[in-house]
């Protein structure tokens, strides 16, 4: 007698069929299930649910509990249930983001998970920046990102789940803690963090929803431009300019270094679009502060990615090699501080 032990994919299909059935109110057939690239701990699966002859193109976002996450990630990343509610609030506010549909129940056995509609387009920076198919889109993306961000920051706080408030000072303390945990002496990062500390912008009276990872690589775009903002797990409450600064960090230009707005346009183009769409006026000095902050932040994330491998929480050559990218941000920081005078 042979006993069939279901593979992980078969188990996921079975759960999705029941859950989709419950949500759509009809027998759902699950087709084309496949893992998207991405983290070992935070999984993304694509699939279609066919219900009564209608095909729904969907995405499952799912957490494997406690695998491959550093303490720092656990402390800054929101859980799936919170991500679902942030996405729902942003989507309702008119942000171009995937429409969240339903959460899976604890009894479904997939861990923390939810299902959203699948948006079209690609997130691959290299294609968006260089392929002929996106020639037209490239002219639009910088201003679209500004417009979408204005809307995102205007999300009604009353519709949001409880989120951590993180101001400039909290961010600086967090990164210093991270350096201490890593136990390596990093003079350039210390220099930049002290520079930031002495110039930090005061907390805002009306902080807003901050996406927290708003950059090229984390949105989908097609031939017409941006279709959906992804990767909401670093959402928090804070300074809206944080998102504008992060988007302009040189590492997110993927080689198009003379176009600071994510590789697609000038800072001024981005800020003008942001203000036209209702965003608060951008103070260039404050934006520069957040760009410097974003650059240290990415540098220390590089060290942390390597640490995931070195500490044994995940074995990954790719993660290990990212540690050697930290110096790129050190080059950028020395340039940024020199230009700041």
d(CA 104, CA 162): 20
Contact assessment for residue 124 and residue 218, using Cβ atoms and an 8 Å cutoff: no
SS3 (DSSP) at 115: strand
Q: Which two tokens stand for residue 37?
A: 């690239």
Q: Which of 182, 237, 174, 178 is nearest to 210 (CA)?
A: 237
Nearest residue (CB) to other proteins, 312 versus 341: 341
Q: How far is the CB of 71 from other proteins (least distance, A)?
A: 21
DSSP per residue over 198-214, as a string? HTPPPPPSS-EEE-S--
135-153 and 267-276 are packed helices; what angle lies between their axes, rounded to 10 degrees? 50
SS3 (DSSP) at 323: helix
Q: How far is the CB of 187 from other proteins (least distance, A)?
A: 5
Helix (H) and strand (E) counts for the chain?
12, 9
Q: How far is the CB of 184 from other proteins (least distance, A)?
A: 8
Backbone angles phi, psi at 117, to 5 degrees: -70, 150
Q: How far is the CB of 195 from other proteins (least distance, A)?
A: 6
Nearest residue (CB) to other proteins, 45 versus 195: 195
d(CA 42, CA 198): 36
Greatest Cα pair distance, the chain, in angstroms, is 77
Nearest residue (CB) to other proteins, 237 versus 337: 337
Q: How far is the CB of 317 from other proteins (least distance, A)?
A: 6
Q: How far is the CB of 321 from other proteins (least distance, A)?
A: 5
Q: Which two tokens stand for residue 158?
A: 């009353």
Contact assessment for residue 302 and residue 325, using Cβ atoms and an 8 Å cutoff: yes
What are the CA-CA distances from residue 109 to residues 26, 61, 69 (Å)? 21, 14, 20
Nearest residue (CB) to other proteins, 211 versus 288: 288
- Computed from CA positions of residues 216, 248, 42, 238, in that sequence, does the dihedral angle turn out positive or negative? negative
Q: How far is the CB of 133 from other proteins (least distance, A)?
A: 20
187-198 and 326-340 are packed helices; what angle lies between their axes, rounded to 10 degrees? 40
Q: How far is the CB of 327 from other proteins (least distance, A)?
A: 4
Nearest residue (CB) to other proteins, 205 versus 318: 318
Nearest residue (CB) to other proteins, 81 versus 320: 320
Cβ neighbour number for residue 101 with a 10 Å cutoff: 19
Nearest residue (CB) to other proteins, 125 versus 188: 188
Q: How far is the CB of 330 from other proteins (least distance, A)?
A: 5
Nearest residue (CB) to other proteins, 159 versus 316: 316
Contact assessment for residue 51 and residue 294, using Cβ atoms and an 8 Å cutoff: no
Judged by the rule CB under 8 A, the positions of this chain that interact with other proteins are: 37, 176, 185-188, 190-191, 193-195, 198, 257, 317-318, 320-321, 324-325, 327-328, 330-331, 334, 337
């Amino acid at each position: 007698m042979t006993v069939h032990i279901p593979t992980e994919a078969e188990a996921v299909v079975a759960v999705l069929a029941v859950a989709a059935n419950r949500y759509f109110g009809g027998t759902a057939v699950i087709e084309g299930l496949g893992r998207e690239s991405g983290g070992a701990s935070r999984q993304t699966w694509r699939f279609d649910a066919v219900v009564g002859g209608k095909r729904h193109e969907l995405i499952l976002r799912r957490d494997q509990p406690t695998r491959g996450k550093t303490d720092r990630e656990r402390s800054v990343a929101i859980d799936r249930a919170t991500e679902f509610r942030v996405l729902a609030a942003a989507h309702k506010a008119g942000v171009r983001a995937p429409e969240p549909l339903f959460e899976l129940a604890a009894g479904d056995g997939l861990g923390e998970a939810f299902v959203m509609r699948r948006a079209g387009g690609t997130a691959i920076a290299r294609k968006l920046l260089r392929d002929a198919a996106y020639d037209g889109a490239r002219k639009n993306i910088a201003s679209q990102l500004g417009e979408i961000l204005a809307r995102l920051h205007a999300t009604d706080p009353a519709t949001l789940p409880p989120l951590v408030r993180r101001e400039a000072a909290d961010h600086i303390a967090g990164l210093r803690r991270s350096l201490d945990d890593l136990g390596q002496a990093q003079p350039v990062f210390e220099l930049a963090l002290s520079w930031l500390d002495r110039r930090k912008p005061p907390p805002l009276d009306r902080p807003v929803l901050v996406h927290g990872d708003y950059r090229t690589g984390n949105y989908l775009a097609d031939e017409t431009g941006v279709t959906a903002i992804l990767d909401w797990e670093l959402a928090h409450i804070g300074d809206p300019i944080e998102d504008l600064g992060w988007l302009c960090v040189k590492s997110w230009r993927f080689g198009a270094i003379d176009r600071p707005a994510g590789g697609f346009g000038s800072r001024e183009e981005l800020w003008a679009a942001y203000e036209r769409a209702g965003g608060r006026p951008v103070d260039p000095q404050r934006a520069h502060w957040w760009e410097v902050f974003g650059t240290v932040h990415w540098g220390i994330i590089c060290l942390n990615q390597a640490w995931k491998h070195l500490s044994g929480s995940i074995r990954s050559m790719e993660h290990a090699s990212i540690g050697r990218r930290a110096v790129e941000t050190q080059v950028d920081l020395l340039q940024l501080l020199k230009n700041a005078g």
